[in-house]
Amino acid sequence: MNLGFLIDNRKCIGCHACTVACKSEHEVPIGVNRTWVKYVEMGAYPDTRRLFSVLRCNHCEVAPCIEICPTSALYTRDNGIVDFDTQRCIACKSCMQACPYDALYIDPDARVAEKCNFCAHRIEIGLEPSCVVVCPEEAIVFGDLGSDNSKISQLVANESVTVRKAEKETEPKLYYINGDDASLNPSEAQPNDQYLWSEQYKGVGHFARFAEEKADEKDSNDLLIQLAMEVGTKTDNGHTDQTIVDTLRSGDPRRVYDSPSKGILWGWEVGGYIWTKAIATGLFMVAVLGQLTGWLDLTLSQERMVLWTSMIFLVLTGCLLIIDLDQHKRFLYVLLRPNWTSWVAKGAFLITGFGAVLALLILDVYIGLGEFIALKLMGLVFALLSSVYTAFLLAQAKGRDLWLSHLAPFQMVIHAMLAGGAAMALLTGEITRELAFTMSGFLLFNLGIFAIELTSSRLTDDARTAAQMILKGRYAKHFWASVLVGRVVPLIILFTGLNTIPLWIVMAVLLAGILVTEHIWIRAPQLIALS
């Protein structure tokens, strides 16, 4: 059996019966949805039409949420349903980043990930999903896609059907008849955060505590306009509201109702963890490579400082990762119940292994058992893998196109070496000629990779939008400041050997520049609508 859904947009009237039935069946809190109806308006006033599309989990054959989940909280049933075990969920929100369809959310009460599970409990006893039962137009069809005799198979075979984001190669099992691009492609109809009924009583999952602030920020004028669009285009005095007319005269598709945005899922904690991890791993790599090649001669006290600094920043990395979880007490599940397809789980073991090597080396420098070259080489491997694994984790986040760059692993290593070199200079109070030359080379590569990642002709529409947000939009000032002050100035000083600015200021600015760019790189793609 291979269960799937089909939405017949020829029949859907946008009544929200499916949404209400789903909320009632699964006790879904206010502000979040397992299934919802998206409204898109097209045409020019007065000749307009409204399109309705039911959105939910696509129960993908190749589900990226299952691949990225570090604790196997998400899994595929024998009948093809992508289901979840809330008892294993640590609320890391990785599944939400991996889903191209914006189907998952963090339950604001239970603090775990939730989504449509095809009403698996009803299927088990021979009942239909609740949304199918209540649909007054029979616009929602479910059944076995593997059976030639099922209604859904016959419709898929005989009608012109489409799926959302086929280019993601997830093999979704949610089909649409008359699925227009304006409704199914988020970039075709731009989001509007002033939907009439989008106020969130509890907020959305991770950000429930900000609900009142969000409500206060609502523009009442925009809400009145939305209301006027719902009931007509006449004001109380019988005259047409010019603002409404101007809006409707636009020929572009307009999103007038949708599920509320979930906001920034990975905030400062994730950007901060990438930065602290870069310092921890990079400092160790610079120290070991410098000692092995002979261009770095550390005293015993300096070696102790290096090891302790790496350990402190590695501990900070772990703390930030735990803080980001909505289920803090379950953080050990990543180690105790690992899903080995997830780079979240792999990364947890790599960081743990690196920490163990650091602990042994710290013990050695105090006890004085001797030079353990093999242990340092092992630490070097763990440090390198720990510095780069986040790039492979971001590559599993198929919902965020800018993160899918093939150059991301190189950028992670470069940032680690730059952060490590800067930290080494701050600890020792000097920078060797060899280290300065090496860091200059890494800075050039860093700038080159930025140029390619943000301007490549191969960028998708979503990635291009995020790139423009960084280069010219809301993050432009911070990004260019981090490039010019945090990259170009240190490059000039390191390459030329100028000493007009104190070394510690140059290195501190370089570290700050890395932190800012990592913060921007994590945030910008999350502002791109997925539904």
DSSP code per residue over 416-482 = HHHHHHHHHHHHHS---HHHHHHHHHHHHHHHHHHHHHHH-TT--HHHHHHHHHHHTSTTHHHHHHH
Identify the residue whose tokens are 């409404």. Answer: 244
Burial letters 435-453, b for 16+ CB under 10 A, else e: bbebbbebbebbeebbeeb
What is the rounded CA–CA span in Å between residue 338 and residue 71? 5
Tokens read off for 414 = 């470069």
What is the rounded CA–CA span in Å between residue 172 and residue 348? 30
Give 207's DSSP letter: G
What is the rounded CA–CA span in Å between residue 104 and residue 34? 7
The pTM of this model reads 0.88
Identify the CATH number of the domain defined by range 268-527. Answer: 1.20.1630.10
Per-residue pLDDT of the chain (531 residues; tens, 9 = 90+): 899 999 999 999 999 999 999 999 999 998 889 999 999 988 877 778 888 999 999 999 999 999 999 999 999 999 999 999 999 999 999 999 999 999 999 998 899 999 999 999 999 999 999 999 999 999 999 999 999 999 999 999 999 999 999 999 999 999 999 998 888 988 888 765 555 444 444 455 555 545 444 444 444 444 444 444 444 433 444 444 555 445 545 567 888 888 877 888 999 999 999 999 999 999 999 999 999 988 888 898 999 999 999 999 999 999 999 999 999 999 999 999 999 999 999 999 999 999 999 999 999 888 876 667 889 999 999 999 999 999 999 999 999 999 999 999 999 999 999 999 999 999 999 998 899 999 999 999 999 999 999 999 889 999 999 999 999 999 999 999 999 999 999 999 998 887 788 999 999 999 999 999 999 999 999 999 898
Rg of the chain, C-alpha, whole Å: 26
Burial letters 264-281, b for 16+ CB under 10 A, else e: ebbbebbbbbbbbbbbbb
Residues of the chain with CATH 1.20.1630.10: 268-527
Are the C-beta atoms of 445 and 503 separated by less than 8 Å?
A: no
CA 489 to chain centre: 31
**pLDDT value at residue 41:** 87
Q: Describe the strand order of the beta sheet including 254-257 as a list of residue ranges.
A: 47-56, 35-44, 254-257
Beta bridge partners of 240: 234
The Cβ-side half-sphere exposure at 30, using a 13 Å CA radius, reads 8
